[in-house]
Amino acid sequence: MNEELQKLAYKAHSKKRDFKDAADKIRKLKPARADELFHQLHEQAFAEINCLECANCCKQLGPRLTNSDIRRLSSQLKMKTSDFTAQYLNLDEDHDYVFRNMPCPFLLPDNYCMVYSSRPKACKDYPHTDQKNIKSIINACIKNTETCPAVFYIFENL
Ligand code: SF4
Ligand code: SF4
Assess whether pLDDT exceeds 90 at residue 5: no
How confident is residue 42, by pLDDT bands cut at 50, 70 and 90?
very high
Q: What is the pLDDT of residues 89-133, one digit of tens each?
A: 999 999 999 999 999 999 999 999 999 999 999 999 999 999 999
How confident is residue 36, by pLDDT bands cut at 50, 70 and 90?
very high
- What are the sequence ranges of the domains in the chain? 3-58+127-156, 62-125
- Pick from 99, 17, 107, 21: nearest CA to 63: 99
Q: Is ligand 2 within 6 A of the CB of residue 107?
A: yes
- pLDDT confidence of residue 1: 54
Residue 91 CA to ligand 2 center (angstroms) comes to 17
What value does the mean pLDDT take over residues 12-17? 96
What is residue 63's three-state secondary structure?
Answer: coil
How would you label 42-70 residue by residue, b for 16+ Cβ within 10 Å and e otherwise?
A: beebbeeeebeebbbbbbbbbbebeeebb
Q: What is the pLDDT of residues 65-74, one digit of tens each?
A: 999 999 999 9
Q: Whose CA is nearest to atom 1 of ligand 2?
A: 119
- pLDDT confidence of residue 3: 80
Q: Is ligand 2 within 6 A of the CB of residue 113?
A: yes
Q: Whose CA is nearest to atom 3 of ligand 2?
A: 123
What value does the mean pLDDT take over residues 5-14? 92
Residue 113 CA to ligand 2 center (angstroms) comes to 6
Mean pLDDT of the chain: 96
What value does the mean pLDDT take over residues 58-62? 94
What value does the mean pLDDT take over residues 55-82? 97
